Amino acid sequence: MICKRWLLKAISNGPPSRLFYGDESGFSLIPVVPYGWQVAGHSLERPSQSSRRFNVLAWLNQAGELVSFTSPVSINSRFVIGCVDEWVSSLTGPTVLVLDNAPMHRSKSFRACFERWQQAGLYVFFLPAYSPHLNKAECLWRKIKYEWLDTAAYASYEALTQAVKSILAEFGHKYTIQFAQNHCTINSV
């Protein structure tokens, strides 16, 4: 576990590229559509259904760098540990990964990796409980689900996974988020 004093010093003195916010989210064929428009007299509806989830684990920093991993099955501690192990070898300096209090982040197997990761320059910091508004990665999920995913993505599970993968691949180019204070805005080309 990282010392909060060190974290504050790293944030104030270090480049924003060394502070990543991590989170997981799932995508399914049950679209997140808060409202919609249709031509008067024509009914547009989607039948109620259940769907497999396509899961994404991502780390995002204020400099606009995104590290993401996808899984067609539920994300668990083992998956997160494997992703962190893969990512930590590419770090070029001390880096902080800010996570929420999900059970997969609090497991014994996840915590057992802290010392090894700290030796490689990665420090894990946990947000206070019930504070998703402090996790900048939440902006990513909101933008993907409510703004960037086209309705055509919900035609099939394969179309959905391809659309999400495409957004993740084009993040930083076609899709960006600019952080200002505690707000995020969208820029799309």
- Go through the domains of the chain in sequence order and give each one's CATH number: 4-28+51-188 (3.30.420.10)
pLDDT digits (tens, 9 = 90+) for 89-145: 999 889 999 999 899 999 999 999 999 999 999 999 998 888 888 888 999 999 999
Nearest residue to 58 via CA among 24, 88, 92: 24
Q: Which residue has the tokens 């930083």?
A: 172
With a cut of 60, say whether residue 32 has pLDDT above it: yes
pLDDT of residue 6 exceeding 90, the answer is no
- pTM summary value: 0.80
CA distances from 51 to 99, 155, 189 (A): 27, 12, 31
Highest-scoring range by mean pLDDT, 16-25, 34-43, 55-64: 55-64
Q: Under DSSP, is residue 14 helix (H, G, I), strand (E, B) or coil? A: coil
Question: Given this model, what pLDDT does residue 17 score?
Answer: 66
Which pLDDT belongs to residue 130? Answer: 81
Q: How many CA atoms lie within 13 A of 146 on its CB side?
A: 10
Q: What is the DSSP string of 101-114?
A: --HHHHSHHHHTTH
